[in-house]
Structure 1
Amino acid sequence: MKSLNILILVVFSITCIATTINAQTLYVNFIPHDNPTCTGPPSGMGWIFVTGPCIFFPDQDNSYYFQVNALRAGWKIFNETEPLCKGNFTFGGYKNGTCIPNQSFIKGIETPYSMITISDTPTKYAIPPNSVVMTRYASKSCAKREFQFNLYTTNGTVVTNTLNDSTETFSCPSSGEPTVNYCQENECKTTEISATCASDIDDSSYHSIFCS
């Protein structure tokens, strides 16, 4: 009887642990690098996505659904002809710790190399100091539970958009206010872009922009 009680206790403990892991919110990180081995400090444009909800960009064609299965991070990509995160999709997925080339979630903009990691918090892999960070939320409460993703660019990153031949240089100067220098056809303009729980283009989501 004692052995049976111990066995039941062990099974119950394992079940509780498995339930906790399954219920845990996980995050898929795309840590930017400028080399094919993803070594050295992060450099460029990075992303941190929460798993579970449908994620979309108001001015982009695709919507995404991120998930984690064992030690693999995956995402479903739904194209513009389908309702958000419904219908036919393509799938991408890589093992935790994989360095991948040419990752893009915004049309015309690619990160040369990204290290894919899985974490249990959106801050486990620290965003480099003085990075320009945009945090996206699902509602105007901008509460932690509404977090969808962080998009960040390390200080001084020049982002090239191949669709319109423009560049954007993101910086965090000593004032602590994030700026972007937008250049197209030899004309440039620098703008402060800080925001606190501001509405997106179509009022479907909200964002904050700040220096890390």
Structure 2
Amino acid sequence: MKFLITLLVVFIINILFVKSQVQYVNFQPFSNGKCSGNSQGIGYSIQLDTCTTYDRNNTYMFTSSSNQVKWAKYSVENVIEPVCSGSATTTQTVKIGNCIKNTNIAFDESSLPAVQYFYKVSISNQPLINSNSYIKSFMYNVDSCNENEVTNIQYFSNATKAIEKSTSRPSSYYCSASNQPYTYYCSIWGCGPSYTSANCQQINSTSPTLINENNYYSVFCN
């Protein structure tokens, strides 16, 4: 009897542990509709069951059940703290493992894809990031940057181009020979490289996103 009770307790603990684990939905970019070959482009890894944002005007909530991922998009204005309530402007559901077009999938509308991608959707216990990538990593309510506190990541495979909303011009994202992140950025004054490394910096009005002062971000290459 004691043995059965012990097994039951262990079983319950394991279930609670699995449920308490933080999980991420991954959107891994590919150039073809089979999501095969080398992954290249703008990718995302986002914590499930957490209201999050990449830009000033949209928030997202991602959930997963029955081998599917569902997300809801909410339009807000100059968001100070992520809020996912009220009527969603769009919702979408996909099966885990599917390869889908990037139609309506530009979670950071300040840096839009310059070409069409297909995304392979997966779930993992840690963010899934392509190697040799320029990475923006965001953390909420922490005093130090810790991979266990990451809520959402956006990454750019080396030499990936994106259309910057602020200028309507393309920028290219690179990792240097010394593994330092930089962009090749064009404006009305011309084009040139801009080194953008950041290590656990507090969010503010000039940061790559606007959430609140309890949030932190890092920019680095892997």
- TM value normalised by structure 2: 0.80
Matched, 1:176 2:172: no
**Could you tell me how far apart the structure 2 residues matched to 1:28 and 1:128 are?**
14
Q: Which residue of 2 aligns with 1:36?
A: 33
Contact 1:199 1:207 in 2 (8 A): yes
**Could you tell me how far apart the structure 1 residues matched to 2:46 and 2:20 are?**
17
Q: For residue 180 of structure 2, what is the amino acid of its counterpart?
A: E
**Could you tell me how far apart the structure 1 residues matched to 2:165 and 2:56 are?**
15
Identity of aligned residues (%): 26
Q: Which residue of 2 aligns with 1:95?
A: 95
Matched, 1:27 2:24: yes
**Could you tell me how far apart the structure 2 residues matched to 1:179 and 1:162 are?**
18
Q: CA deviation at 1:13?
A: 5.7
Q: Secondary structure at the match of 1:104?
A: coil
Cα distance per residue 1:123-157 (max 9 Å; x no partner): xx4x3332111110113432334311111111111
Unaligned runs of 5+ in 1: none
Q: Would the alpha carbon gap of residues 132 and 119 (structure 1) be closer, same or farther in structure 2, given more than 3 Å must change?
A: same
Cα distance per residue 1:35-62 (max 9 Å; x no partner): 11111111001011111221023x4311
Q: For residue 21 of structure 1, what is the amino acid of its counterpart?
A: V
Q: Which residue of 1 aligns with 2:59?
A: 63
Unaligned runs of 5+ in 2: 206-211
**Could you tell me how far apart the structure 2 residues matched to 1:208 and 1:189 are?**
22
From the CA coordinates, give the structure whose radius of gyration is larger.
1
- TM value normalised by structure 1: 0.83
Q: CA deviation at 1:8?
A: 6.7
Q: CA deviation at 1:105?
A: 0.8
**Could you tell me how far apart the structure 1 residues matched to 2:64 and 2:162 are?**
29
